[in-house]
Amino acid sequence: MAPKRHAPPIRLRRLAAELRRLRGVSGLTREDIAERTGINAATLYRIETAKVRPQRRTLVGLLDLYAVTDPQRSEILELSRTADEQGWLRPYHADLPNEYTAYISFEAEARGVRNYESLFVPGLLQTEDYSRAVIKGVWPTATTKEVDQRVQARVERQALFKKESPLELWAIVDEAALQRKVGGLNVMSEQLSRLVESAAEPYITLQVVPFGTGAHPGMPGSFVLMDFPEAVDPSVVYIDSMAGDLFLEAEEDIRRYNQIFDYLRAQALSPGDSIDLIDKVLRETC
């Protein structure tokens, strides 16, 4: 019997993804790096696929080659130091760096995303004006530049639907997200129309939990389940909280959130009835 393969911890997967990104930005091949640093190309492959954690001197050599400076350099070194631990709480930073954040990196590599939202339209389905209104509303001290960065990042994420193999999204939203007039009537009308259009795409499934459902398992808060192409990379749960971005990977957490999503899917309106409800709210909004 073949030995059981253990999934790499989420921190190690994040580290590998960031090192792949940095190499891509540098334009260097693994063979180029082997020539410049003496790091074996096969070893670099294992590092970039999260099969091993790089030794500190190896990681420092790569960061030197990629000209990575603080604060990003310190964050990557800390990520490597804790790479064998499970779970991850990533605190918010004052601004959004140009490079992908942890969530965006995982989302970009996912095969499918299951997203429940209790108060907002899912980020992957937001219009630019709705995104701007949401970010300004929940982050009242943000500068114009900070808002612009967040909005741009949200818009760029939607390019995942334009890939040759588009990201598969199953989104469930509470009716509260449809009824709240974020940004005013015009912005909300445009956003509701976007939802109707998006739901017609074969890679997007949209359901609404109506007010009439009463109490339901999603009321404690929103969450995202990300599923990946490789069996060795199990699902990851992402929870956006006031404290920061919480990533969960323990089997019991994945199982619990899978069950919650299944309950929500059963209690929500069918996709067709959901669109009828969105159309009804849209008519009332106009």
- Mind listing the pLDDT tens digit for each residue in 228-255? 887 657 788 999 877 667 888 888 999 9
pLDDT in tens, 250-277: 889 999 999 999 999 999 999 999 999 9
CATH annotation of 90-285:
3.30.870
Q: How confident is the model at residue 1 (pLDDT cuts 50, 70, 90)?
A: very low
pLDDT in tens, 35-46: 998 888 899 998
**Count of all residues that appear for the chain in the document:** 286
Question: In this predicted structure, what is the pLDDT of residue 82?
Answer: 76
Q: What is the mean pLDDT of residues 157-166?
A: 93
The answer to whether domain 10-85 and domain 90-285 are alike in fold is: no
Q: Which residues, in sequence order, are CB contacts of 55 under 8 Å at separation 6+?
A: none
Within a 13 Å sphere around the CA of 266, how many CA atoms are in the beta-carbon half?
8
Residues 225, 258: Cα–Cα separation, whole Å: 8
10-85 placed in CATH 1.10.1040.10: no
Q: What is the mean pLDDT of residues 75-85?
A: 80
CB 245 within 8 A of CB 90: yes
Q: What is the mean pLDDT of residues 98-119?
A: 81
Q: How confident is the model at residue 50 (pLDDT cuts 50, 70, 90)?
A: confident
In single-letter form, the type of residue at position 218 comes to: G
Q: How does the average pLDDT of the chain come out, rounded?
A: 87
Residues 158, 81: Cα–Cα separation, whole Å: 32
Closest-CA residue to 120 (of 221, 236, 214): 221
- Burial degree of 142 (CB within 10 A; 0-12, 13-18, 19+): middle
The side-by-side arrangement of strands in the sheet containing 168-174 is 88-90, 245-248, 236-240, 223-227, 112-117, 168-174, 204-209
Residue ranges of domains in the chain: 10-85, 90-285
Question: In this predicted structure, what is the pLDDT of residue 2?
Answer: 38
